[in-house]
A and B are shown apart, each in its own frame.
Chain A
Amino acid sequence: GAVVSQHPSWVICKSGTSVKIECRSLDFQATTMFWYRQFPKQSLMLMATSNEGSKATYEQGVEKDKFLINHASLTLSTLTVTSAHPEDSSFYICSATGTGGSYEQYFGPGTRLTVT
């Protein structure tokens, strides 16, 4: 149980275009989802926290107009990288917590974004 999927697993796009990444909880309802960014050989950097039906809370230094997050249902959150540039190339990982009050997060497999 507690499976989180991401789609796509990898994407290549041209500079200036927008890319949408989906994060789904497959067998549980996710009240809270998190989006992380991971640079090569580095730790995860939390970008934002999203709760179903409300606006995402962004970490300091993360541009909310560039990284649009929507958490429209208890099983789906999306991250849209708008007007992507090569420096946005990274590994994006989502995670979700369930409704039971557990602190455990369930992580998606990640999406590798390459902007050319």
Chain B
Amino acid sequence: GDSVTQMEGPVTLSEEAFLTINCTYTATGYPSLFWYVQYPGEGLQLLLKATKADDKGSNKGFEATYRKETTSFHLEKGSVQVSDSAVYFCALSANTGGFKTIFGAGTRLFVKA
């Protein structure tokens, strides 16, 4: 079945450091790919998405490119801030699953001032 694998956390960075959170997926068909962010005590917020190969999703300085050849959707940000501390979930959704979204395990990010 479809699945998402993302790097284990926690990831601890200093402010203004470069961030990469790796995400790879397994899916039949052509899924849409998402990154969601969850701040402490809150629900999930969509951070960015890409619906087809080579699409780049971007938002708030975060970027991820849909790489079909490597089945990856790595999240990057050039300069993190303390306010970026949160849990990040990579996810996919495809009509083969009735639009169900499959989530990765989540990666917790801590950014130190």
Contacts and interface: CB of A to CB of B under 8 A. Distances in A.
A67 interface: no
Given A93-B43, A109-B42, A103 B104 contact: no
Given A34-B100, A41-B108, A97-B99, A107 B43 contact: yes
A41 B95 CA distance: 28
Question: Main SS of chain A's interface residues?
Answer: strand
A77 interface: no
A46 B99 CA distance: 12
Contact of B101 (A6, A57, A105): A105
Interface residues of A, number: 21
Contact of B34 (A43, A93, A104): A104
B30 to A, nearest CB: 10
Nearest to B101: A105
Nearest to B106: A43
B93 A109 contact: no
A42 B31 CA distance: 23
B112 to A, nearest CB: 19
Contact of A103 (B42, B44, B95, B103): B95
Interface string B78-113: 000000000001000111001111011110100000
B41 to A, nearest CB: 8
A103 B49 CA distance: 10
B50 to A, nearest CB: 11
Interface of A: 6, 32, 34, 41-44, 46, 49, 57, 93, 95, 97, 103-110
